[in-house]
Amino acid sequence: MMRGWEFNQPVPERGYCWWYVDALSDDGKHGITIIAFIGTVFSPWYAWARRGGGGDPSNHCCINVSLYGSPSRWAMTDRQSWTMRRDENSFTVGPSGLVWDGNSLTISINEVTAPFPSRLRGTVRLTPQALSTRAFQLDAKGKHKWHPIAPRSRVEVEFQQPGLRWSGPSYFDTNAGAAPLEEDFCDWDWCRAPMPDATAILYNTQRRDGTSQALALRVGHDGAVTDFASPPAVQLPKTLWRIARPTRSENGQALVVKTLEDAPFYSRSVINTHLLGRDVTAVHESLELDRFANLAVQALLPVKVPRPFW
């Protein structure tokens, strides 16, 4: 049985694997997202390599870090295979890395931000409340899978550059696939909402074959993942880049509290919605893969996703 944090799992040609962490501070003033990629799915360099007949995922790896609030920072450097080292419990890309010690995940960050270069250096330590063993297939052929490893967690965030320290509720999952996302999906939206006694997760996908999937999950204190009835759909206001932000709410109402990321093909937001009988605050993500596949959009991305060629 895969536990989710096995950083040495095989990644097929043209495929990907990523490990995702997000957190909001207890006071609501700060947030962070970290994504460790093998086969950086949102890298224009990897997309161009696949178009050229290549597609070695290990030659496009990175640790993406986004700080929200004040100060805010962004780093996403697409790196070559010789910069990566990994085994079952550790994954290093260039100067940054993740280590699982059996009780917690420690992420050491030493990156250069983009588009304006500055040093981003610090440590994030995630401690799960419980581990979840249930994984999900996202497409009909089983090429894409998702595993919410530790939907109920806590983080301690400490950065030296910029100076920053806070703690709060967090989330940890992994996705893996044997084909590019844009090949099998049109779009998806996802959100996770922590509550005192559970975490609610919504995951809605529109597939290229015309089918769709709507997951509505409750994760308890013990890590057990159970389904609940998918709530009615709600449309949140589009972003400045005109990215749709669909979500779901049991009372048919939802509100954007803060837009964290507004990019040409995706958004990340803090929203208020109503799930499992409660008004909740959730981290929400919306992704439009037709936008990502557009060559004009990909031509913009190296500004935010640089790639050193040495």
Q: Which of 6, 39, 5, 28 is nearest to 179 (CA)?
A: 39
Do 141 and 103 lie in a common domain? yes
Token pair for residue 210? 């015309």
Chain centre distance of CA 281: 18
Do 197 and 149 lie in a common domain? no
Residue 124's domain is classified under what CATH number? 2.40.370.10
Q: How far is CA 106 from CA 89, 101, 123, in A?
A: 11, 8, 7
Do 112 and 138 lie in a common domain? yes
What is the phi/psi pair of residue 190, to 5°?
A: -150, 150
Do 241 and 165 lie in a common domain? no
Q: Which residues form the domain of 13? A: 1-179
pLDDT in tens, 153-198: 999 999 999 999 999 999 999 999 999 999 999 999 999 999 999 9
Residue 309 lies in a domain: no
Cis peptide upstream of residue 194 (ω within 30 degrees of 0): no
What is the spatial distance between Cα 34 and Cα 62, in angstroms, rounded to a whole number? Answer: 10
- Of 153, 179, 205, the residue that ends a domain is 179
What is the spatial distance between Cα 278 and Cα 95, in angstroms, rounded to a whole number? Answer: 42
Residue 73 lies in a domain: yes
Block residue for tokens 């301690």? 156
Whether pLDDT at 6 is above 50: yes
Domain tally, the chain: 2
Do 89 and 224 lie in a common domain? no
Residue 62 lies in a domain: yes
Do 31 and 168 lie in a common domain? yes
Whether pLDDT at 1 is above 50: no
Mean pLDDT of 29-48: 97
Do 193 and 241 lie in a common domain? yes
Residue 123 lies in a domain: yes
- Of 162, 179, 196, the residue that ends a domain is 179
Whether pLDDT at 29 is above 80: yes
Do 170 and 82 lie in a common domain? yes
Cis peptide upstream of residue 264 (ω within 30 degrees of 0): no
> Partners of 125 in the beta sheet?
106, 156
Do 111 and 212 lie in a common domain? no
Residue 157 lies in a domain: yes
- Of 152, 179, 206, the residue that ends a domain is 179
Do 147 and 188 lie in a common domain? no
pLDDT in tens, 39-76: 999 999 999 999 988 899 999 999 999 999 999 999 99
Residue 189 lies in a domain: yes
For residue 64, what pLDDT is reported? 98
What percentage of the chain carries pLDDT values higher than 90? Answer: 95
Residue 294 lies in a domain: yes
Instruction: Enter the DSSP assignment of 245.
Output: E
pLDDT in tens, 189-222: 999 999 999 999 999 999 999 999 999 999 999 9
Do 214 and 287 lie in a common domain? yes
Residue 308 lies in a domain: no
Do 117 and 198 lie in a common domain? no
